[in-house]
Amino acid sequence: MQDDDRAIRNLVASYCHAIAEKDDKAWADTWAEDAEWVLLGQTVRGREAIFAHYKRLVSGVRWVVQQASDGIIELQGERASGRWQVLEFLQGAGGAGGQNIARYRDAYVRCSDGRWRFERRELFVTFFGPADLNDPKRG
């Protein structure tokens, strides 16, 4: 059980590191073949579609660093669920900085190769805007 917990924590860390290192192959490999990604009002299904959507999202970004913390994992045999706090810093192609403060709600599945992968990730955004945390809607 501790090995499964550690493997899932490593999965989440691998996801974050792959984003920062622009390691597309490693990022795509964190997803199960029939996974579902829910973010920014869209639901994307299947590893290939998820990867294509991700590439569109990061196409206008110079760099992104994402940190996931306070992970809570609940194991249920070959499946598990998790909750994470996420802090993300980024710089757009034009040089402007941004910040995302959010939460992920995850479902994980142990795949046929024995590795844990995301079966579902849903992002709940608390704040997305300038790095100084000013709310662009409030002026």
Q: How many residues does the chain have?
A: 139
* Predicted TM-score (pTM) of this structure: 0.92
Residue spans per domain, the chain: 2-60+75-84+104-126
**CA pair distance 57, 111, nearest whole angstrom:** 27
pLDDT value of position 131: 76
Domain 2-60+75-84+104-126 has CATH 3.40.50.10470: no
**Beta-bridge partners for 97:** 91
The per-residue pLDDT for 110 is 98
CA atoms within 13 A on the CB side of 118: 31
| Average pLDDT of span 99-122 | 97
pLDDT of residue 134: 74
Token digits for 90? 């980024």
Q: Are 133 and 100 in contact (CB under 8 A)?
A: no
pLDDT digits (tens, 9 = 90+) for 113-132: 999 999 999 999 999 888 78
